Amino acid sequence: MQYEYLSVNKVGIVILGIETSCDDTSAAIIRDGYMLSNVISSQEIHRQYGGVVPELASRAHIQNIVPVVDTAIKQANVKKEDINAVAFTRGPGLLGSLLVGTSFAKGFALASNAKLVAVNHLHAHILSNFIQEEGKEKKLPKFPFLCLLVSGGHTQIIVLRDYFDMEIIGQTIDDAAGEAFDKCAKVMGLSYPGGPVVDRHAREGDSSVFKFSKPNIAGLNYSFSGLKTSFLYTLRDKVKEDAAFVEKNIPNLCASLQQTIVDILLDKLIKAVATTGIKEIVIAGGVAANSGLRNAVTNIANEKGWTAHLPEFRFTTDNAAMIGITGYFKYINGMFTTQNVAPAARFEDMGV
């Protein structure tokens, strides 16, 4: 069942993937499930505001989209007329940003007579684990698998029974894991996005120095707001004693924070494996780049006999290759959309 789509003998299917859900403008070319190019233009303008400013993001997408797509097509060495379909992120994300990618995709499809494929950004994060490259064959996840999807906006445990059969069995009831990294980093005065910065400092620190509160909720759901508050209160109290506390303790604070987030994530993942009996594990989303999480998943997988799939770093954060590969699977299954499609800011408003 599982490689049904990959083994179909259709060759020369070229997909242009477009991603504009947040602050990265990205375009990629996928041919027959293999990535030929993946161009990402990250918008630096948000850094000075300590977070993404939606209106500035959509304006930057408008400026970036044509050169980014053009570069992706050139790098892949394909012709515009060879493109069979344009796959674009329909949602979830920032509405103005999504609108730029959606409108561009529609225009491109009309002008080049290509099909249109709408992609769910979260579905694409998961399927990023199926991106292949010529000459770099890798072991693909086998269905059914469990995906720990950890990004700036979402934290979910999802069962994938097939490419298009996803069931969310656990999710955050408040902040996402990436948000916990970013918000705590901001409190320490670190730059945005905070996740990668915390990760870097954590390598120099001792994770046992500080203890932050972990949630105590039943089932497979997550919560990160308590941790955020506990982190904030610890800093507030320590700074009263020593005004230079934060700057003196950045590595240990980052290591302890990262360890707490990783422990929270793994606690429920272990429960999900016990509940479902599924030991094929995939991680995805921006926080899947975190070295602490990657090490912990690898170690637990070895210990418990799971098969773990960790995406390459460049496919963890937002990129169009993941939109292209998802578009490819939808294309070969005839899952097209029309020129009437509208972006969907919320996950609940769209299927796979």
Binding site for ligand KG4 (CB under 6 A): 22, 151-153, 178, 181-182, 193-196, 199, 285-287, 289-290, 317-318
Distance (Å) of CA 8 to CA 3, 131, 322: 9, 17, 20
Phi, psi (5° rounding) for residue 213? -75, 145
Q: Does 151 bind Zn ion (CB under 5 A)?
A: yes
Q: How far apart are CA 80 and CA 90, in angstroms?
A: 22
Of 280 and 318, which CB lies nearer to ligand KG4 in the complex structure?
318
Binding site partner of 280, from ligand KG4, Zn ion, none, Cβ cut-off 5-8 A by kind: none
Rounded distance between C-alpha atoms, residue 252 and residue 289, angstroms: 20
Cβ 222 vs Cβ 173: under 8 Å: yes
Least distance to Zn ion from the beta carbon of 30, Å?
18
User: Choosing among ligand KG4, Zn ion, none, which partner's interface includes residue 181 (Cβ < 5 to 8 Å by kind)?
Assistant: ligand KG4
Range in contact with Zn ion (rule: CB under 5 A) among 144-152, 199-207, 236-244, 341-349:
144-152
Residue 193 sits at φ, ψ, to 5 deg, of -75, 140
Is residue 89 part of the contact set for Zn ion (CB under 5 A)? no
Asked whether position 179 contacts Zn ion by CB under 5 A, the answer is no
199 binds, among Zn ion, ligand KG4, none (CB under 5 to 8 A by kind): ligand KG4
Tokens, residue 343 = 């972006």
Residue count, binding to Zn ion (CB under 5 A): 2
Judged by CB under 5 A, does residue 318 bind Zn ion?
Answer: yes
User: Are 36 and 73 a contacting pair, CB within 8 Å?
Assistant: no
290 makes contact, choosing from ligand KG4, Zn ion, none, with CB < 5 to 8 Å by partner type, with ligand KG4
Give the whole-angstrom CA distance, residue 231 versus residue 316.
Answer: 26
Question: Which residues touch 115 (CB under 8 Å, ≥6 apart)?
Answer: 84, 85, 86, 109, 331, 336
- Our CB check for Zn ion shows the closer of 28 and 235 to be 28
The residue range among 47-55, 73-81, 105-113, 318-326 that interacts with Zn ion, by the rule CB under 5 A, is 318-326
**Choice between 181 and 210, CB closer to ligand KG4:** 181
CB atoms within 10 A of CB 280: 18
Q: To the nearest whole angstrom, how small is the minimum distance from the Cβ of residue 214 to Zn ion?
A: 25
Binding site for Zn ion (CB under 5 A): 151, 318
